[in-house]
Structure 1
Amino acid sequence: MRKWLWLGLLAALSAVGYLALAQRGSLGQAGPQNPSYPGTTAVSDEEMDEAAEAQADRNLARITPDQAVQAAQQLLQTQATPKTVTLGNENGHPVWEVVIGNEEVKVDAGTGQVLHREPLGQEAQNEEDGKNAEDEAGE
């Protein structure tokens, strides 16, 4: 009888541990990114290394970096040359991250739709704020 009780307890703890890891995701980030905005093309939930994930993002991107820059320039009403244009993964969706001046614009790599705009460096602050809120909620 005690053996079955221990096995049941072990199974329950294993399930809880697995669910906690699954919720954290492959990058160790709990829940959705902050700020959260949806993309149109979802990346596979399959576990992959960074290089494979980058390749999957490139395969799903339907617009070029130049088209992403044009969308960002139109939003910001400028013809300034971007500092950087990188393909990233936000909330499981491929997104072009375009930095022009002191602004970062997130452009859906599937449609070219602008998803988000924020002052450069604001994303790091949002992530820190989200982490602090999680820490306070856990106390």
Structure 2
Amino acid sequence: MGPDLTKLDWKTVSARDEARRARVQQILDAGGAKVGLDYFHAAMVSQHGMEVANYQRSHALAVKAAELDPTLKQARWLAAASKDRELMHLGKPQLYGTQFRVVEGKWELHAVDPSITDEERAKWNVPPLEEARKKVETMNARPK
């Protein structure tokens, strides 16, 4: 089980994350990313931003990582998750079912575009939608 997210000092965490994103951008601008894993790690740092532009950047970097290294399954998943996070923050349904949120004290799966199939999810290393729905039940069953 991870840290209790309700007890974190989010101001400190956000400032540290912003500094990390700035440093990653410097590395990218200097041509420091060479292989898929470099782009994947850069995408992960961007994914944890607070603005839509961060998620868009994360998606582009994760797609690049997957193109450079097709065996990098986590890059495909991150490309899907960053696209879902972007859509969620724009108030639109997500495509793949990777994003959850708390509403009135309970976890829920953010709305999902019904036209996306589990076969499409599999291409992006995302489990079937039914697994995401079961995950919500598990998350809500945890002691508070």
Please give the TM-score of this superposition, normalised by the length of structure 1: 0.32
Q: Larger % of strand: which?
A: 1
Q: Which has the larger radius of gyration?
A: 1
Relative contact order (alpha carbons < 8 A, sep ≥ 6): 1 or 2 greater? 1
